[in-house]
Structure 1
Amino acid sequence: MQIALMVLIVMLLTGVVFGFVLAFANKKFSIEVNPLIHIVEEALPKGQCGACGFAGCMAYAEAVVLNPDVPPNMCVPGKAPVAKIVGELTGKAAPAVDPRIAHVRCSGSPGVAVIKYQYKGVEDCAAANLLQGGQKSCQYGCLGFGTCVKNCPFGAMTMLPSGLPHVDPEKCTGCGKCESVCPKGVIEMLLVGAKVGVNCNSKDKGAVAKKNCAAACIGCGLCKKNCEHDAIKLANNLATVDYKICMEKCDNPTCLAKCPTKAIEAVVKDSVAQKVAV
């Protein structure tokens, strides 16, 4: 009994001593945090999306306050309003940033795209992609397991009954998180206000692309030939759009009517684009 009591007393005294040592060390070696960092962090949308290039909102707040070379407009989801606030708080100029919105470059739902086997594994696009590139014959198409939807910090994406993701333009902040997690590179960021977008990601030649998916871009070039402003190019058998030219010059997208597979279509109406850009 006496030995147990002595052990208890020794442990208690040891704990008290270590407590005083830790308290002293904490006070002695503590680093004072600039209160402006927390103020800036509170102004950010808290999506922790990493679109700014930093590991979360606090990391960006610290960088923009302490590093004179870090601009105040790197918070993509916050757009111009947040850039203005951060600029005012840090005394830095906030150059304008073109607002963006996610766009799914695939229309290959089951029945449209050819399915080469039935996948029965983990419902995750990255996991499915490890097995022969996924269940679709098209090696560039959306796998449909919603990895982008699960990783959207702002709840701007949902899975449609067709098995393809849908972007809500009123919720999408253009942070690019969905783009970064897609193993197929199906998602791209459009400039808000772009008139058209290509709903295909296939780099296969026309005959192969059409065999794998009825909605594929076949690289025929009709959209390019019918674009009055030279805003469409062909690269790797796939039509690509220069969205700045499309926005600035095009009032009547004649390319839409000429696409034989409807792989290019209107994406964002002006009324919605203006709301997203605010």
Structure 2
Amino acid sequence: MNTAIMIVVVLTVIGCIFGLILAYVNKKFAMEVNPLVEKVEDVLPKGQCGGCGFAGCRAYAEAVVEDEKVPPNLCVPGKAAVAEQVAKLTGKSAPAIEPRVAHIRCAGDCTKAVRKYEYKGIKDCVAANLLQGGPKACQYGCLGFGTCVKNCPFGAMAMGSKGLPIIDVDRCTGCGTCVKVCPKQVIGFRLIGSKVMVNCNSKDKGGAVRKNCSVGCLGCGLCMKNCPYDNIKVEDHLARVLDHHVCVEKCSESACLAKCPTGAIKAIVNGTDLQEQSKKEAAANV
């Protein structure tokens, strides 16, 4: 009995000693936290998306407070409102940021794109891409397994019934998480207010595109030739709009839409992406 009591006493004493040592070390080597960091972190949206280029909101808060070279407008999800608050807290100036949203540069859903084999593996785009680039004949097209949807920190994406992601522009912050996780680099950005978008990502020549997808860009250049403002350019057999401000501010005809033989160029209607599925379907699938 006495032995048991002694063991308990000894262990208690040892525990107290170690506790005192740890308390001393903690106090001795403690780093003072700038209270301004806490205030800046509180105004950030906490999406931990990394769109600012730092490893989460805390890391950005520390950087923008402690490094005078780090601007206060790097929080893309927070947009202008957060940039203004961070600027006010840190005493820095916040240049205006044009709001952007993600855009799926592919219209080749399961009814329009050809498949080269039947995929039975893990329902993940990264995994599917490891097997001969995925089941889609077009090596540049959306694989449709929803890796972007699963990784969106703001719940702004859903899979449509035809195998393409749909973006809810009211929720999308333009943080870029979906862009980073897409193995095909199908997802890009567009400015809010964009009038037309090229819904294709293929760099193949026209013949190969037509063989693989009925709505792919053929690189024919008709859109470029008929644009009255020289605002479309074909590079690597793929058309792209050079400056969306020109479309919004000057163009009223959108001749490129009428001339595109496959409909690869689509109009942006009421601020929503025209991807054959409606935003209502996206909400139903969330």
What interval of TM-score do these two structures reach, taking the shorter chain for normalisation? Answer: over 0.9
- Counterpart residue number, 1:75: 75
Q: Which stretches in structure 1 are left out of the alignment for 5+ residues?
A: 273-278
Matched, 1:167 2:192: no
Instruction: Spell out, residue by residue over 1:140-165, the C-alpha distance to the aligned partner (whole angstroms, 9 max, x if none).
Output: 00000001111111111110001100
Which moved further from structure 2: 200-209 or 241-250? 241-250
- Counterpart residue number, 1:229: 229
- Counterpart residue number, 1:196: 196
Equivalent residue runs for 1:1-278 within 5 Å: 1-242=1-242, 243-269=244-270
RMSD of the TM alignment (CA)? 1.4
Structure 2 distance, partners of 1:129, 1:105, is 17
SS across alignment from 1:169 = coil
Structure 2 distance, partners of 1:106, 1:173, is 20
Structure 2 distance, partners of 1:73, 1:248, is 26
Structure 1 distance, partners of 2:246, 2:59, is 35
Structure 1 distance, partners of 2:10, 2:188, is 64
Q: For residue 99 of structure 1, report the CA deviation from its aligned partner.
A: 1.0
Assess if the C-alpha contact under 8 Å between 1:116 and 1:136 holds in 2: yes
Q: 1:271 to 1:135 in 2, by over 3 A?
A: closer
Assess if the C-alpha contact under 8 Å between 1:73 and 1:97 holds in 2: yes
Q: 1:171 to 1:270 in 2, by over 3 A?
A: closer
Structure 1 distance, partners of 2:252, 2:84, is 31
Q: Which stretches in structure 2 are left out of the alignment for 5+ residues?
A: 274-286
Structure 2 distance, partners of 1:271, 1:138, is 25
Assess if the C-alpha contact under 8 Å between 1:115 and 1:136 holds in 2: yes
Instruction: Spell out, residue by residue over 1:106-139, the C-alpha distance to the aligned partner (whole angstroms, 9 max, x if none).
Output: 1111121111111111111000000000001100
SS across alignment from 2:63 = helix
Q: 1:3 to 1:28 in 2, by over 3 A?
A: same
SS across alignment from 2:233 = strand
Q: Which amino acid is 2:231 matched to?
A: A
